[in-house]
Amino acid sequence: MIEIKSVYKSFEDRNVLDDISFTFENGKTNLIIGQSGSGKTVLMKCLVGLLTPEKGEVLYDGRDFIAMDKHEKKALRREMGMIFQSAALFDSLSVLENVMFPLDMFSNKTYRERVKRAQFCLDRVNLLDAQNKYPGEISGGMQKRVAIARAIALQPQYLFCDEPNSGLDPKTSLVIDDLVHSITAEYNMTTIINTHDMNSVLGIGESILYIYQGHKEWEGTKDDVFTSTNKRLNDFIFASDLLKKVKEEGGK
């Protein structure tokens, strides 16, 4: 479980995050949604320590991440996995080597055990056949799946996904959503997904935080979305005619 309490972050005179508090629950896919520029990515960067909030607390199962020294932060980061918008695979390494990287760096297993674990993770995302290819030789969807395999190689407790469906077709997006959702349940992780893909919101949003211009506007589940009277949320989620019709039919 990750709790954030009264988090503030500003750049020069502009408040990007303004008094945000929320609890990201364990074993659930927690979504952060909001329009472009609303502060979703800044919040995620504050959560993983790439940015430091000016005020507030970020608690990982009660451990205050901001108050930790660099060694403690480093240790905690080994419990995290992250899937970036661009997948962020290492170009010079093959798919298998990318997945093995965290194992090579931090695991005390033998080489054979590390290869076995990496192949297991690749098999989990149905990419064992591509293990000898390089990131430049595979599609964007496959790169995201490799990123998922790399993120779970060390069996993290916390998984962060920054717009995992960005640049993918709807069908591949569903595959990625299903994978992240099933892996979250399988490893009992706290998963936080930063997205503005409405299919993800309505499909896997077990806990949703809606940010509007840097502040918390709404929270709930995917089912609550259909009954919500929050105008900003409704304008954001049901912007398209298709989704408006879905709402009118009560989400059926």
Partner 1 sequence: MVKPISTLGKYMILMGRVFSRPERVRMYFKQYVNEMAQLGINSIGIVLLISFFIGAVICIQIKLNIESPWMPRFVVGYTTREILLLEFSSSIMCLILAGKVGSNIASELGTMRVTQQIDALEIMGVNSASYLILPKILGLVTMIPILVTFSIFAGVIGAFCTAWFAGIMNATDLEYGIQYCFVEWYVWCSFIKSLFFAFIISSVSAFFGYTVEGGSIAVGKASTDAVVSSSVLILFSDLILTKLLS
Q: What's the one-letter identity of residue 116?
A: K
What is the closest distance, in whole angstroms, from the C-beta atom of residue 82 to partner 1 in the complex?
4
Residue placing its CB nearer to partner 1 in the complex, 101 or 120? 101
Residue placing its CB nearer to partner 1 in the complex, 66 or 246? 66
Q: What is the 3-state secondary structure (H, E, C) of 13-56?
A: CEEEEEEEEEEECCCCEEEEECCCCCCHHHHHHHHHCCCCCCEE
Q: What is the token pair recorded at 101?
A: 């990287």
The contact mask relative to partner 1 for 52-91 (x = CB under 8 A, - = no) is: ----------------------xxxxx-xxx-xxx-xxxx
What is the closest distance, in whole angstroms, from the C-beta atom of residue 211 to partner 1 in the complex?
21
Helix (H) or strand (E) holding 243: helix 241-248
Q: What is the 3-state secondary structure (H, E, C) of 133-182?
A: CCHHHCCHHHHHHHHHHHHHCCCCCEEEEECCCCCCCHHHHHHHHHHHHH
What is the closest distance, in whole angstroms, from the C-beta atom of residue 85 to partner 1 in the complex?
7
Residue placing its CB nearer to partner 1 in the complex, 12 or 91? 91
Site for partner 1 in 156-185 (CB under 8 A): 160
Residue with tokens 């589940």: 221
Residue placing its CB nearer to partner 1 in the complex, 160 or 238? 160
Residues near partner 1 (CB under 8 A): 48-50, 74-78, 80-82, 84-86, 88-91, 101-102, 104-106, 160
